[in-house]
Amino acid sequence: MTDYFDLLGVPRGPIVDTETLKKRFLQLSQSLHPDHLASTTAETHEKAPNTFVEINTAFRCLSDLKSRLAHLFEIEFGRGPRSIQDIQPDIAAVGSRVMTVCHGIDLFLKGFKKHSPPMIKARQFKEAMHWMSQCDEVEEGFKPLERQLEMQLMSLDQAWRQNSSHVTRQPDSPESITLDHCYRLASYLAKWSVQIKERRLNLSLLVHETS
C-alpha cells in the first residue's frame, strides 16, 4: 500500500506537524498544475489527475488523527488496529454517560410538539435547555480523556522518532500496544463528539423555534 507519510514527505509517526503537512500538500498540488506540467512528458500529463487524487487522499488521511493512526498501523504492522473487547473503566463510564444523554434527548425530541399551548411550550423550552446543559457536561467529561490521549501520543511519538526508521517494529511491541490504545480512544472520542454535536444542533433548532 502507499505510504502517505512518504508520499507527502513528512516524518512517519503518530503526530504530524499540521503546518508542514499543509505546506507539503500545497507544494505537491501546485507541481501538478497545468502551468507546471507544460514542459513535462505526455505520460506525466496523463498520470497527473490520479496523482492529485492520491495526494489529496493522503492529506485528508494524515490530517485526521483516527485515520492517521490506522494508516500508521497498516504500514508498520501490515494490519489494522485490534478489536478490543475490554474497555478501561474511565472510558466505559464516559461512553455510558454519552449513551444515556443521547437516549434521553432522542426521547425528548420524539415527543416534542411544535404547536402547543404557551404553558407546554415553556415546559418544553425548559426541558430543552436542561438537555443542552447535559451536553455541556458530557463534553466537559471528554477533556480528561483528551488530555490522556494527548500525553500518550506525545510520549509515543517521542519514542517512535528515537528509533531508526529502518527498525522493524513487532506487532506485540509496547509501541504497538500504545498505538492501539490511542487509536481506540481517538475513535471513541470522535464518535461521541459527533453524537453530542448532532443532538445539540437539533436541540438548538427547537429552542430557536420555541423562543
Among residues 184, 192, 191, the alpha carbon closest in space to that of 98 is found at: 192
Mean pLDDT of 56-70: 94
Calculate what percentage of the chain has a pLDDT beyond 70.
85
pLDDT digits (tens, 9 = 90+) for 114-158: 777 888 888 888 999 999 999 999 999 999 999 999 999 999 998
pLDDT digits (tens, 9 = 90+) for 173-199: 788 888 989 999 999 999 999 999 999
Q: Classify residue 64 by burial, with Cβ atoms within 10 Å: 0-12, 13-18, 19+.
A: middle
Average pLDDT of the residues of the chain? 85
pLDDT reported for residue 28: 86
Quote the cell numbers at residue 84. 478490543
Under a CB-based contact definition with an 8 Å cutoff, are residues 136 and 177 in contact?
no
Among residues 186, 205, 184, 206, the alpha carbon closest in space to that of 194 is found at: 186
Beta strand spans in the chain (E): none
Reply yes or no on whether the pLDDT at 66 is more than 80. Answer: yes
Q: How far apart are CA 159 and CA 155, in angstroms?
A: 6
The position carrying cell 488521511 is 61
Q: Which has more pLDDT, 96 or 160?
A: 96
